[in-house]
Amino acid sequence: MKLIEHYFHLFAKYSQFVAFQEVKLTRSEISKELQCSERTVTNILNKMADKKWINRNKGEGRGNATTIIFLVTIEEMFDYFEDQSPDYDEIIRLISLFENNDLYNEIEQVFYGMILKLFGLKVDNVTKENENKDDYEHLKIPYFRIYNSLDPAVVERESERHIVEQIFNTLVTYSKESESIVPSISHYWEENNEGKEWTFYIRKGVNFHNNKNLTSKDIKFSFERLGNTPSKWIIRHLKSISCIGSHVIRFEFSQSMYNWDILISSPKCSIVPEDYGGKTKEIFAEFPIGTGPFMIEKHDETLLNLKVHPTYFKGRAYLDEITIFILPTIEKYFNANKMKREPLFYIPFSLEKDSDDGYNHVRRNHLSTKYLMWNMNKKTIRINHLLRRRVSSMINKDNMVRDLGYPRFKKANSFIDQENDDSSNSWIYQDTKYDESLTLMTYELTPNEDDINWIQTELTKYGIKLDIIQVPYSSFIEMSKQADLVLSGFLSENSREVSVYNLFLSESSVFSELYNLEEKVYKFCDKVMREKRQEKRFELLKQLEEKLIDQDIIIPLYTTFQKALIHKKLMGISLSTIGLVPFDRLFFRKN
């Protein structure tokens, strides 16, 4: 692979990407350019000549020029590069080489073609001798953020939850379209004893990715292990789990749980193999085993490779393989206006200004809600409602959305009612100056950085100094209790009811770290779950939310949206609740 990079380097520097013309060079010049010894230069040129990438006539004597003719075009050499299955570092080095080259603008379209080949849909013949075999379809996708834990019980961000939903299944799922619970691993269920007993009947023939058949023991393990995760609130009132044979399981509770079927539709309740299929908890979080349409083949900080689960109980996915490259700087290349040579089939993130010529764009609004949360564990903040109200009044949410743009969609004044447009800001403090100093913390993400800088600028106008801190996402929850004010995000699930519980009750939410009356919230939510009618549960949750917002403890800022560009040859497209494309129904139009 390094030899290919050397060829690109010399071809760009000395021939301006024009093949079949003579170039005179000395070994000393090449040595300085490639940062290696002249003896190594001789070896490099010999290898290139052996591969018939170059012709050369050696100059006689030390320091005399050698005549080189580059025989392989940039397009052909990139095909060689791609055939070597380049890893993350090799791709980054190649991108950097072209970015830093003075001739970049002249080869811009070729460069975009190279990027597109890396991340487009690659169709390979399974067996070249047998033309009747189906084509092997491999979709390559760029992404800008590493995947942390893929354990469904701990995921909170859109990116991880999207992958979890490709790998795992739950007992039941919540249909946002029909607003009802539909079968998944369980094909039938019933509730008895005033919501204190739920029985689920399990499909036969459901296989994990390790070919083990799913049984009621796996389900029992999946729920019992939640007690050692941030999602333990889900089983707060679970008394016992009984396996009634291999394909029936019964849950018994200490209080009525009329919404149990809705709660377990959460991806956090995904079914995992008993004892993690022989893996430790830590290894399972990186290489999980589920029953879903795709299974993990490779996972590290540079890429995530998924292979199709051929015996998936809901029907085999159409694509055979999906590779997601983690390239933090790659977003700037994906402008649809420049994608003329070959299509990039799926751009999961897309700026609103992008042209969609040759593409379909799919958009979903109200994906998540960005909010501020005060650290109510600090007495100076807990007793100072006036300070909290002042800060809240100084943030014009409409201006924030307008000034910062994508992915901000609309100002938010509620987590439950996303269409609520009644502003809680009275703006009575705009002309008053204050002398306050506060710390504002968030996790590392470009939109978050833009948000806190904007908020800092606004509050400075009124004499409130903000010291802003960004920390890695992995340590964000733990470190949040050191701050006065925290910027975080509320991720919507298919069921909004489950989403709100997770905001208030999950240990993965900053709310649990920063609200000193958390136990009262738990007890209130217990009361909510005892209600049989969903309308009544929503009414009670709305009361809790209004109290927290009215006291300026938590400040919803705005909702987000996601726009994805999908090439017209990639079919089976929809956007999930979190704004990403489910992989299991994707297929490639061949005409």
Domains defined along the chain, listed by start: 1-73 (1.10.10.10), 169-283 (3.90.76.10), 365-561 (3.10.105.10)
Structure tokens at 337: 């206006």
Question: Do residues 293 and 198 make contact, with C-beta atoms less than 8 angstroms apart?
Answer: no
- CA-CA-CA-CA torsion for 264, 268, 274, 276, nearest 10 degrees? 170
The pLDDT value recorded for residue 126 is 44
Cα–Cα distance for residue pair 106/433, rounded to 1 Å: 54
The pLDDT value recorded for residue 88 is 59
Question: Do residues 310 and 528 make contact, with C-beta atoms less than 8 angstroms apart?
Answer: no
101 alpha carbon, distance to own chain's centre: 32
Spell out the residues 6+ positions from residue 236 whose beta carbon is closer than 8 angstroms to its own: 522, 526
Cα Rg for the chain, rounded, in angstroms? 28
Cα–Cα distance for residue pair 376/568, rounded to 1 Å: 50
Amino acid at 479: M
Q: Where are the alpha helices (DSSP H) in 280-433?
A: 281-286, 379-382, 385-394, 397-404
| Continuous segment of H or E residues that includes residue 22 | strand 22-25
Q: Check residue 274 and report its DSSP letter.
A: G
DSSP reduced 3-state for 156: coil
b/e 345-367 (16+ beta carbons within 10 angstroms → b): bbbbbbbeebeeeebebbebebb
pTM reported for the whole predicted model: 0.80
- For the chain (591 residues), the mean pLDDT of every run of 10, in chain order, is 85 82 88 88 91 83 78 82 71 67 57 60 46 69 82 89 94 89 97 97 97 98 96 96 97 97 96 95 96 94 90 94 76 50 57 56 79 95 94 95 92 82 51 73 92 96 93 92 94 86 92 88 94 94 94 95 74 60 80 64
Question: Do residues 238 and 223 make contact, with C-beta atoms less than 8 angstroms apart?
Answer: yes
Cα–Cα distance for residue pair 256/141, rounded to 1 Å: 45
DSSP reduced 3-state for 478: helix
For the chain, the straight-line distance linking the first and the last C-alpha, in angstroms and rounded, comes to 34
Amino acid at 41: V
CB atoms within 10 A of CB 282: 10
The pLDDT value recorded for residue 272 is 98
Is the sign of the CA dihedral 439, 516, 502, 285 positive or negative? positive
| Continuous segment of H or E residues that includes residue 67 | strand 66-70
Amino acid at 156: E
The pLDDT value recorded for residue 119 is 61
Which among 256, 261, 272, 241 has a CA at the least distance from the CA of 189?
Answer: 261
Helix/strand/coil percentages in the chain, nearest 5: 35, 25, 40
Spell out the residues 6+ positions from residue 136 whose beta carbon is closer than 8 angstroms to its own: 123, 124, 125, 126, 320, 321
Cα–Cα distance for residue pair 138/324, rounded to 1 Å: 11
Cα–Cα distance for residue pair 355/345, rounded to 1 Å: 14
The pLDDT value recorded for residue 566 is 72
Question: Do residues 451 and 488 make contact, with C-beta atoms less than 8 angstroms apart?
Answer: no
Cα–Cα distance for residue pair 234/213, rounded to 1 Å: 26
Question: Do residues 322 and 141 make contact, with C-beta atoms less than 8 angstroms apart?
Answer: yes
Phi, psi dihedral angles at 218 (to 5 degrees):
-65, -40
DSSP reduced 3-state for 333: helix
Question: Do residues 241 and 225 make contact, with C-beta atoms less than 8 angstroms apart?
Answer: no
225 alpha carbon, distance to own chain's centre: 25
Asked if omega into 407 is within 30° of 0 (cis), the reply is yes
Spell out the residues 6+ positions from residue 214 whose beta carbon is closer than 8 angstroms to its own: 185, 202, 206, 207, 208, 271, 273, 291
The pLDDT value recorded for residue 352 is 47
b/e 557-590 (16+ beta carbons within 10 angstroms → b): bbbbbbbbbbbebbebbebbbbbbbbbbebebee
Cα–Cα distance for residue pair 585/495, rounded to 1 Å: 22
The pLDDT value recorded for residue 77 is 83
Query: 413: buried, middle or exposed (CB in 10 Å: 19+, 13-18, 0-12)?
Result: buried
Q: Check residue 231 and report its DSSP letter.
A: T
The pLDDT value recorded for residue 127 is 42
CB atoms within 10 A of CB 439: 15
The pLDDT value recorded for residue 131 is 42
Residue corresponding to tokens 């249909």: 175
The pLDDT value recorded for residue 102 is 55
The pLDDT value recorded for residue 547 is 94
Q: Where are the alpha helices (DSSP H) in 84-127?
A: 88-99, 108-119
Cα–Cα distance for residue pair 147/156, rounded to 1 Å: 11
